[in-house]
Amino acid sequence: MTLLPCTRAHRLEGSRTNQPWLIESLWSDQAVGVLGGEPKTCKSFLALDMAVSVASGTPCLRRYLPKRTGRVLLYAAEDAPHVVKQRLEGICRAAQVRLEQLEIHVITAPTLRLDDQADRSALTSTLDHLRPTLLVLDPFVRLHRIDENASSEVAPLLGYLRELQRRFQTAVVLVHHARKGAHRSRPGQALRGSSEFHAWGDSNLYLRRRDNDLRLSVEHRAAPSLEDLPLVLKSEANELALEVLDTLSPPENTSPQSSSASERIHEVLKRASEPLSLAELRQACRIRTQRLCDALRQLQQEDRVRKTRHGYELASKSHDPVSPAPAPLDLEGKGNGKPSDPNCTNQ
């Protein structure tokens, strides 16, 4: 008689944090899920932005910090290699990194079928060889010849991807189309085909467009979801990258520039699960160091932000003792266990 392996519940391995993230607030660590949306809603741009973030350690969408970084494996079935490279270069420009320095590996096979045993074996072997932190497959419709409406046909393919996730401890992002005209539906219910797609995902992202308004919905199995995020596809020197629109209005009696920086810092720290260093804040907020220092000084004077030995956090979150400092405001990152930033005082 063969028994399945079992263990008592209290002996199960626990997470070292309340919610382990791959990209904070956007994608859980080692999660499988769908990045869905109607045609022409920038799904591929978002998938590539996630790839650059994980490979480089820079914030996804210039805002959401990756908590685990590493190699990325990507298959873009609908785009020519030069298009994929051009898009990645545009995102790298926005993230201020160089593409040639990133471990982003692109599968260049003309076809990849998840319902073909030879292709599945080749994909499994490739993952075993590269051991990526993130696998991006874009889009699902080009990866099979099954009936997407038939749960009995969809479930085995999704089960195979779940098997890859568990075997190689990798996150899997599956880009998938939503039904045309489905922007009024609940995002997960708007996906084309079987309801298996919605049920399968640990983390799901949905892009929806109404006229020129592009919004991102975020859904997690084991964490709170974000409110819908307004996005814009920005162009710089003919290179494109998505960014989150800052729609926060400035408080009264403050300058628009200072207010915008302060509120951006507040929002970044609100989403952060741990204190952030000055360098991490500057990267996440995408503002100049001097503006960051001025805004931090204002927030500390208002008792909205405080500095602990581990970095900066919202005053309402803090439970650690404040690190001692020779001056009331220590904006150089000294004594927080992270590299200091000399630029704070010389810009």
pLDDT tens per residue across span 58-100: 999 999 999 999 999 999 999 999 999 999 999 999 999 999 9
Residues 166 and 276 occupy one common structural domain: no
The pLDDT score that the predictor gives to residue 189 is 74
pLDDT range class, residue 288, cuts 50, 70, 90: confident
Q: Among the three residues 244, 277, 304, which one is the final residue of a domain in this structure?
A: 244
Residue in this structure with the two tokens 């995408």, named with its chain if needed: 286
The rounded Cα 278 to chain-centroid distance in angstroms is 21
CATH number of the domain encompassing residue 329: 1.10.10.10
Residues 113/117/118/122 CA torsion (nearest 10 deg): 80
The pLDDT score that the predictor gives to residue 149 is 94
Give 50 or 286, the one with higher predicted confidence.
50
In a domain, 10, yes or no: no
Contact 28, 203 (CB under 8 A): yes
The pLDDT score that the predictor gives to residue 46 is 98
Residues 263 and 212 occupy one common structural domain: no
Domain holding 284, by residue range, is 256-344
Q: How many domains does the chain have?
A: 2
Query: How far apart, in whole angstroms, are the C-alpha atoms of residue 141 and residue 149?
Result: 12
Q: For 247-270, what is each residue's pLDDT tens digit?
A: 533 333 444 444 478 888 988 888
Residues 103 and 228 occupy one common structural domain: yes
Residues 123 and 272 occupy one common structural domain: no
Give 10 or 237, the one with higher predicted confidence.
10
Among 160-174, 226-240, 281-295, whose mean pLDDT is lowest?
Answer: 281-295
pTM, entire model: 0.70
**Stretch (H or E) spanning 38:** none
**Stretch (H or E) spanning 188:** none
pLDDT range class, residue 184, cuts 50, 70, 90: low
Give 69 or 189, the one with higher predicted confidence.
69
Among 87-101, 130-144, 181-195, whose mean pLDDT is lowest?
Answer: 181-195
Query: How far apart, in whole angstroms, are the C-alpha atoms of residue 337 and residue 340?
Result: 9
Q: What is the mean pLDDT of residues 230-250?
A: 79
Residues 182 and 78 occupy one common structural domain: yes
**Stretch (H or E) spanning 238:** none
In a domain, 120, yes or no: yes
Residues 294 and 193 occupy one common structural domain: no
In a domain, 6, yes or no: no
Give 239 or 286, the one with higher predicted confidence.
239
Q: Among the three residues 216, 244, 272, which one is the final residue of a domain in this structure?
A: 244
CATH number of the domain encompassing residue 206: 3.40.50.300
Residues 183 and 288 occupy one common structural domain: no
Query: How far apart, in whole angstroms, are the C-alpha atoms of residue 283 and residue 57?
Result: 10
The pLDDT score that the predictor gives to residue 291 is 82
Residues 99 and 178 occupy one common structural domain: yes
The pLDDT score that the predictor gives to residue 226 is 85
DSSP string, 266-329: HHHHHH-SS-B-HHHHHHHHT--HHHHHHHHHHHHHTTSEEEETTEEEETTT--SPBPP-SSS-
Q: Which range is most confident: 157-161, 229-233, 301-305? A: 157-161
